[in-house]
């Protein structure tokens, strides 16, 4: 926190009398100071989440560390803090090594993002299979990890309005929702989580039992869950935003296959995710371009400041 304090605008103004380069640091100081605080905050949330789950004392509970929300927060926070620290302290101390490290980190991050974007389009089927495998792990361990449970509930209920991978039947992979679990007294047997349920108009209190028994043969009344799998939902989201015409075609297809008498989501969550990406591809692409532009500016700033420092030192000698 001492470093963060030194990176304040007041500190910059105080250094203006010492170094002629100090006034030029102010804009980047603010950005890097925010990165440091943001990184520490994100890391703190991730560590707190792991502490609440007692993960540090029982690492075997991690079914897939790459898909653990708390681990992802810790990783993002660490990267953000390192980049902010090298940029802020490098400019503050006129340390060319730290500034070079700052530029390298940003360049590597930018290269990684570009590579991930290209590979995402080239190996679309592989990405889809990995997403399917990850979602299957979420379903199997739904009741074991509260973070993953909250994540899948958010995906199914709030983001994609879907249920399972290909549809509600995928929840048979979970021991609690498997239809055979009725023999051992599971009340959730042949059901689905509440996040699969379609919300009723003017609903104030969520019905946590709305998914009970909905997959049983001869279920009485209307099913009130999403029928669409999240795998297909994700694919359609991507396509709808990639090509407007394709998006319109997918929308027509969805409308043709929608039964208004059902109040459950038939679509799987992967399908819903694809549709969501299709509808929002322009926004995603714009965000990626803005992020890349900001990173390029950071690299240029670091290199320009290093050159100024070397030039200033040459005058002193």
Residue 235 has what pLDDT?
Answer: 76
- What average pLDDT does the segment 268-277 reach? 79
Residue 18 has what pLDDT?
Answer: 42
CA atoms of 178 and 164, how far apart (whole Å): 13
Predicted confidence band of residue 42 (pLDDT cuts 50, 70, 90): very high
Enter the tokens of residue 252. Answer: 């027509």
Enter the tokens of residue 85. Answer: 């620290």
Q: Is the pLDDT of residue 261 over 60?
A: no
The 3-class SS string of the chain reads CHHHHHCCHHHHHHHCCCCCCHHHHHHHHHHHHHHHHHHHHHHHHHHHHHHHCCCCCCHHHCCCHHHCHHHHHHHHHHHHHHHHHHHHHHHHCCCHHHHHHHHHHHHHHHHHHHHHHHHHHHCHHHHHHHHHHHHHHHHHCCCCCHHHHHHHHHHHHHHCCCCCCCCHHHHHHCCCCCHHHHHHCCCCCCCCCHHHECCCCCCCCCCCCCCCCCCCCCCCCCCCEEEEEHHHHHHHHHHHHHCHHHHHHHHHHHHHCCCCCCCEEEEEHHHHHHHHHHHCHHHHHHHHHHHHHHHHHHHHHHHHHHHHHHHHHHHHC
Q: Is the pLDDT of residue 135 over 80?
A: yes
Q: Is the pLDDT of residue 88 over 50?
A: yes
* Stronger pLDDT, 223 or 7, i.e. the higher one: 223
CA atoms of 5 and 73, how far apart (whole Å): 24
Predicted confidence band of residue 266 (pLDDT cuts 50, 70, 90): low
- What average pLDDT does the segment 82-95 reach? 86
Look at 25-34, 151-160, 282-291 and tell me which has the smallest mean pLDDT.
Answer: 25-34
pLDDT, tens digit, for every residue of 187-209? 899 999 999 998 888 878 888 88
pLDDT over 90 percentage in the chain: 16
Summary mean pLDDT of the chain: 77
Residue 243 has what pLDDT?
Answer: 54
- What average pLDDT does the segment 38-61 reach? 78
Alpha carbon distances (Å) from 267 to 91, 140, 166, 188, 262: 52, 19, 7, 21, 12
Residue 280 has what pLDDT?
Answer: 85
pLDDT, tens digit, for every residue of 137-172? 889 989 888 888 988 999 998 888 899 998 899 999
């Amino acid at each position: 926190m001492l470093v963060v304090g030194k990176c304040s605008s007041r500190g910059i103004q105080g250094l203006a009398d010492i170094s002629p380069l100090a006034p030029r640091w102010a804009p980047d100081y603010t950005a890097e100071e925010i990165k440091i605080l943001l990184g520490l905050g994100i890391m703190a949330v991730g560590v707190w989440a792991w502490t609440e789950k007692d993960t540090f004392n029982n690492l075997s509970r991690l079914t897939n560390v790459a898909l653990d929300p708390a681990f992802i927060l810790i990783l993002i926070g660490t990267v953000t803090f390192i980049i902010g620290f090298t940029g802020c302290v490098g400019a503050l101390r006129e340390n060319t090594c730290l500034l070079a490290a700052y530029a390298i980190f940003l360049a590597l991050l930018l290269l990684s993002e570009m590579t991930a974007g290209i590979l995402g389009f080239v190996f679309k089927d592989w990405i889809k299979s990995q997403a399917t495998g990850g979602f299957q792990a979420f379903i199997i361990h739904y009741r074991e990890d509260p973070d993953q449970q909250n994540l899948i509930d958010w995906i199914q209920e709030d983001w994609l309005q879907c249920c399972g991978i290909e549809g509600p039947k995928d929840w048979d992979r979970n021991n609690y929702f498997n239809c055979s679990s009725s023999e051992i007294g599971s009340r959730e047997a042949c059901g689905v989580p509440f996040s699969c349920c379609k919300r009723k108009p003017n609903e104030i209190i969520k019905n946590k039992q709305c998914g009970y028994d909905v997959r049983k043969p001869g279920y009485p009344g209307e099913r009130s869950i999403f029928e669409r799998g999240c795998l297909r939902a994700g694919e359609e989201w991507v396509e709808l935003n990639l090509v407007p015409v394709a998006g319109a075609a997918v929308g027509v297809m969805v409308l043709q296959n929608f039964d208004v008498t059902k109040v459950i989501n038939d679509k799987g969550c992967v399908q819903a995710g694809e549709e969501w990406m299709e509808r929002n591809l322009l926004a995603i692409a714009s965000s990626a371009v803005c992020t890349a532009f900001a990173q390029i500016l950071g690299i240029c700033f670091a290199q320009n400041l290093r050159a100024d420092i070397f030039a200033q030192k040459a005058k002193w000698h």
